[in-house]
């Protein structure tokens, strides 16, 4: 295989023994397992299908597929995409040399900048086993953690399927990757995009009915298309928090949650609620009654893993039928009695990862951990119904597809009352980078959620006090994500200019902007959206000095004369051929440009209704000496 010097399949048993073989189509019987590997070629792509069957009842620790890089591929010019391990992890493109010894999950793409050569790989199923990618000095290891469970004689398992390519570019591979997953899990995303307001970065846990109504005063009337108000952590009775039982705090919502839901529905707005459904707390009055539902360490747990989990909060046993039944009752009450139709489910990854960097995991008796996780979230989906919107947060990504409608793709944009204003910008900068690089998930596996839009220019105690250009940069990135768009401010305290920033994002675009150069370091500065008759460009400067930035038409795949319009200013800059040079891109800022080819007949250029300038909703045709404009 090009760029790969050696590919090795190996099995590590719990007793420490190791069996390995060069990767190819084979049936491999090592006396403990019979392994069948099929390498199926589809043009530029290969899929690995691995099946194992027990023959001795031996316990298995790992099943690995290792790819060792060739010398001309592995050098200082090799970059790779680090996708983190869960929804809220930081991601980035980085140099391979000097950045190994880490664990990532799901997918990675790689490019040698000097040779232009690629290698990409990712898991395209997540049905039963915990999988991850180890970035090692000489190559990568795709690992199945088999939980030290015995595989009985005659017991068969299909391992998670792997997609790889060394021919396609990163954009084509990521598209193929998501298309295959969507096909396998029959994913159809047809719900309205959530847009509206969220309480978290506005009030954190200090939220109540009066504050929410006050904060959203005028918001839902002034911005068309808003459809959800999501209460984050703090709506629930603190004495029952994380207790497996979720009730509204009657002091904060004195008429109950159903009354508040009816208040919202009268405005055409749906109620959303945050939950952390798998994490109990010791101080809950329910805790003693729920002890039999808690996870207990299995007999074969390693001492070092046991020590890790002893330092963590308790977890529910995902395989306990009583826990699953009570979980269903919780969601049945919140939907049927309270009227909620949107749920943000948080801290789900904590149900099986104790310390992934050290490969310490929770192991369950009833089944493999990912199989149990899928059963749990399927039970939630079946309880709330297909019409409810489920958003994953602090969750595994691939394991959640097909069940969740949306997913966070970055950290919280503000980290409560912990850091200085300087650090707030560093968080925002990283969230922008995450949203740029995880664009490929959107509207294929789920709706992307970059996190809330924060526009305030005053510090409420959390260190956030954004300049106009800083908040415009973040609002632009949320808009260019194409996904979930929730304001997190006391609306009436914002200046008219900042309220207008939020209104400019609507109607939502729903298309994710792609990086022109995915591997540009330290971040992709130029994003684009292709429309039938125009391109929309977002040019970011996340650095501390102003920049001059040339935009090459050839790099965009266009030629000839084009008009360029500044989308935020609603101002035609001029007509250009071959390139446009932005001479003064301010620090911590963004500019958005419409680029449209000039024809020799009258044509529609743009409308000033919002940030997208009508490119996503206007069609025009010139015929019979007249210009026909159609608004979608």
The model's pTM:
0.96
The more confident residue out of 108 and 278 is: 108
pLDDT digits (tens, 9 = 90+) for 177-200: 999 999 999 999 999 999 999 999
Q: Give the architecture-level CATH label for domain 227-408.
A: Alpha-Beta Barrel (3.20)
Is the model's pLDDT at 63 over the cut of 70? yes
Of 234, 241, 228, the C-alpha closest to 198 is 228
Report residue 421's pLDDT band, with 50, 70 and 90 as the boundaries. Answer: low
Contact at 8 Å (CB) between 40 and 47? yes
Reported as type and span, the H/E element at residue 531 is strand 526-531
pLDDT digits (tens, 9 = 90+) for 260-309: 999 999 999 999 999 999 988 777 767 777 888 888 888 778 888 888 87
471-494 average pLDDT score: 98
Contact at 8 Å (CB) between 243 and 287? yes
Is the model's pLDDT at 420 over the cut of 60? no
pLDDT at 413: 93
Tokens of 473: 């940069």
Helix axes 321-336, 369-384, angle to 10 degrees: 30
Domains 4-184 and 525-631 share a fold: yes
Is the model's pLDDT at 422 over the cut of 70? no
What angle (nearest 5°) sits at the alpha carbon of residue 610, between those of residues 608 and 616?
Answer: 95
475-484 average pLDDT score: 99
pLDDT at 377: 98
The more confident residue out of 518 and 245 is: 518
Tell me how far apart the alpha carbons of residues 162 and 179 are, in angstroms, rounded to a whole number: 14
Which backbone phi and psi does 33 adopt, to 5 degrees?
Answer: -130, 145
DSSP single-letter state for residue 112 = E
Contact at 8 Å (CB) between 575 and 613? no
Give me the chain's average pLDDT, please: 94
Q: Give the architecture-level CATH label for domain 4-184.
A: Sandwich (2.60)
Evaluate whether the domain defined by 525-631 bears CATH number 3.40.50.261: no
Which backbone phi and psi does 86 adopt, to 5 degrees?
Answer: -155, 180
Tokens of 177: 């990757």
pLDDT at 459: 86
Which backbone phi and psi does 561 adopt, to 5 degrees?
Answer: -80, 135
pLDDT at 241: 56
User: Strand 228-231 vs strand 270-275: parallel, antiparallel, or unpaired?
Assistant: parallel
Q: Which sequence spans correspond to the domains of the chain?
A: 4-184, 227-408, 525-631
pLDDT digits (tens, 9 = 90+) for 32-46: 999 999 999 999 999
pLDDT digits (tens, 9 = 90+) for 201-222: 999 999 999 999 999 999 999 9
Is the model's pLDDT at 97 over the cut of 70? yes
Neighbours of 251 (CB within 10 A): 9
**How many angstroms separate the Cα of 427 from the Cα of each of 118, 139, 452?**
30, 31, 13
pLDDT digits (tens, 9 = 90+) for 483-521: 999 999 999 999 999 999 999 999 999 999 999 999 999
Helix residue ranges per DSSP H, 358-462: 369-384, 421-437
pLDDT at 280: 81
405-421 average pLDDT score: 83
- For the chain, the first-to-last Cα distance in angstroms comes to 48
pLDDT at 240: 60
Report residue 239's pLDDT band, with 50, 70 and 90 as the boundaries. Answer: low
DSSP string, 468-509: HHHHHHHHHHHHHHTS-EEE-S-GGGS-HHHHHHHHTT-S--
Q: If you search the block for the tokens 């009227």, which residue do you land on? A: 339
Is the model's pLDDT at 313 over the cut of 90? no
Tokens of 564: 């360029």
Tokens of 228: 């959800």
Contact at 8 Å (CB) between 53 and 154? yes
Report residue 171's pLDDT band, with 50, 70 and 90 as the boundaries. Answer: very high
Tokens of 311: 């330092």
Is the model's pLDDT at 408 over the cut of 80? yes
């Amino acid at each position: 295989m090009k760029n790969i010097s050696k590919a090795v399949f190996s099995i590590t048993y719990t007793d420490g023994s190791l069996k390995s073989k060069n990767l190819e189509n084979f049936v491999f019987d090592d006396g403990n397992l019979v392994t069948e590997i099929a390498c199926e070629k589809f043009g530029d792509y290969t899929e690995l299908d691995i099946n194992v069957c027990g023959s001795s009842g031996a316990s298995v620790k790992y099943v690995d597929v290792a790819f060792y890089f060739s010398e001309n591929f592995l050098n200082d010019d090799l970059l790779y995409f680090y996708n983190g391990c869960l929804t809220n992890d930081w991601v980035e493109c980085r140099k391979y040399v000097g950045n190994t010894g880490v664990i990532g999950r799901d997918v990675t793409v790689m490019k040698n900048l000097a040779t232009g050569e690629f290698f990409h790989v990712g898991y395209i199923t997540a049905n039963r086993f915990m999988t991850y990618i180890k970035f090692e000095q000489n190559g990568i290891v795709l690992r199945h953690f088999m939980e030290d469970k015995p595989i009985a004689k005659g017991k068969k398992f299909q391992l998670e399927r792997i997609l790889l390519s060394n021919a396609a570019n990163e954009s084509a591979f990521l598209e193929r990757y998501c298309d295959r997953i969507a096909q396998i899990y029959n994913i159809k995303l047809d719900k309205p995009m959530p847009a509206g307001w969220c309480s978290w970065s506005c009030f954190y846990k200090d939220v109540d009915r009066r504050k929410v109504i006050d904060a959203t005063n005028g918001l839902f009337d002034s911005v068309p298309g808003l459809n959800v108000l999501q209460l984050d952590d703090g709506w629930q009775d603190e004495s029952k928090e994380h207790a497996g039982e979720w009730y509204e705090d009657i002091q904060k919502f004195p008429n109950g949650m159903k009354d508040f839901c009816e208040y919202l529905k009268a405005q055409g707005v749906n109620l959303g609620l945050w939950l952390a459904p798998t994490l109990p707390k010791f101080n809950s009055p329910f805790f003693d009654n729920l002890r039999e539902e808690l996870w207990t360490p299995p007999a074969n747990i390693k001492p070092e893993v046991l020590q890790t989990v002893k330092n963590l909060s308790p977890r529910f046993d995902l395989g306990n039928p009583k826990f699953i039944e009570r979980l269903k009752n919780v969601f049945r009450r919140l939907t049927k009695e309270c009227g909620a139709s949107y749920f943000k489910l948080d801290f789900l990854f904590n149900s099986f990862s104790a310390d992934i960097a050290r490969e310490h995991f929770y192991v369950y008796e009833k089944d493999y951990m990912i199989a149990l996780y899928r059963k749990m979230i399927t039970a939630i989906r079946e309880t709330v119904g297909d019409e409810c919107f489920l958003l994953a947060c602090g969750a595994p990504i691939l394991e959640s597809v097909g069940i969740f409608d949306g997913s966070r793709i970055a950290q919280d944009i503000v980290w409560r009352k912990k850091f200085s204003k300087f650090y707030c910008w560093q968080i925002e900068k990283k969230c922008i980078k995450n949203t740029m690089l995880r664009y490929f998930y959107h509207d294929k596996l789920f709706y992307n959620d970059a996190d809330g839009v924060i526009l305030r220019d005053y510090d409420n105690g959390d260190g956030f006090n954004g300049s106009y250009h800083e908040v415009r940069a973040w609002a632009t990135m949320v808009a260019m994500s194409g996904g979930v768009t929730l304001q997190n401010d006391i609306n009436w305290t914002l200046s008219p200019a900042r309220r207008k920033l939020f209104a400019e994002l609507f109607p939502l675009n729903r298309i994710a902007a792609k990086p022109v150069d995915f591997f540009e370091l330290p971040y992709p500065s130029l994003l684009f959206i292709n429309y039938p008759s125009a391109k929309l460009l977002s040019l970011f400067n996340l650095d501390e000095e102003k920049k001059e930035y040339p935009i090459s038409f050839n790099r965009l795949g266009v030629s000839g004369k084009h008009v360029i319009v500044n989308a935020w200013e609603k101002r035609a800059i001029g007509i250009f051929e071959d390139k446009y040079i932005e001479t003064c891109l301010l620090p911590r800022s963004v500019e958005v440009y419409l680029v449209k080819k000039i024809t020799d007949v009258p044509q529609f250029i743009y409308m000033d209704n919002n940030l997208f300038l009508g490119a996503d909703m206007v069609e025009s045709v010139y015929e019979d000496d007249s210009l026909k404009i159609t608004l979608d």
